Amino acid sequence: MTVKQKREQIGGNMALSSALPDNESQTQETTPGKNEGVKWVVVARTPGLAPAQIMADRLKTEGIPVRAWQESAGQSFGLTIGLLGTGYVMVPEDMADRALEILEDEDETDWDEIDWDEEE
């Protein structure tokens, strides 16, 4: 799957979509300092917060600023399905393509082929 196809699968323009229908979206911006704004976009949606945090940690190891979150009501009730149960992984828009490539590479890892007993 190409990065473009992954973007379309996640939500077209990769903008944050919380409780909005799939055809509507919003973005989240922060200011890192001065008058410079940063637009954050969703690069992955997961069933619950835990998988989103794992993906976020993977992206952090590559030096990509990242946020993992879930709607607070969903967290309170322990939901992992539906709008309130969805976990989100967000990165700055200018790093979205790189983040998708990293996550895509992880999807292609064949964990059954790894010899876990082999010492380096």
pLDDT tens string 48-100 = 899 999 999 999 999 999 999 998 888 777 777 778 888 999 999 999 999 99
Strand arrangement of the beta sheet that strand 36-47 belongs to: 28-33, 36-47, 86-92, 67-70
Query: Cβ distance 39 to 62 under 8 Å?
Result: no
> Between residues 61 and 26, which one has the greater pLDDT?
61
Domain assignment of residue 7, yes or no:
yes
Amino acid code (one letter) for 58: R
Instruction: Look at residue 97 in the predicted model and tell me its pLDDT.
Output: 96
Please check the confidence at residue 114 and state whether its pLDDT lies above 60.
yes
Task: Please state the rounded mean pLDDT for residues 29-54.
Answer: 83
Domain assignment of residue 50, yes or no:
yes
Q: Please give the tally of structural domains in the chain.
A: 1
Instruction: Look at residue 81 in the predicted model and tell me its pLDDT.
Output: 74
Q: How far apart are CA 30 and CA 92, in angstroms?
A: 10
- Domain boundaries, position 52: 1-11+40-94
Residue 33 CA to its chain's centroid (Å): 24
Which residues, listed in sequence order, are joined to residue 69 by a DSSP beta bridge?
Answer: 88
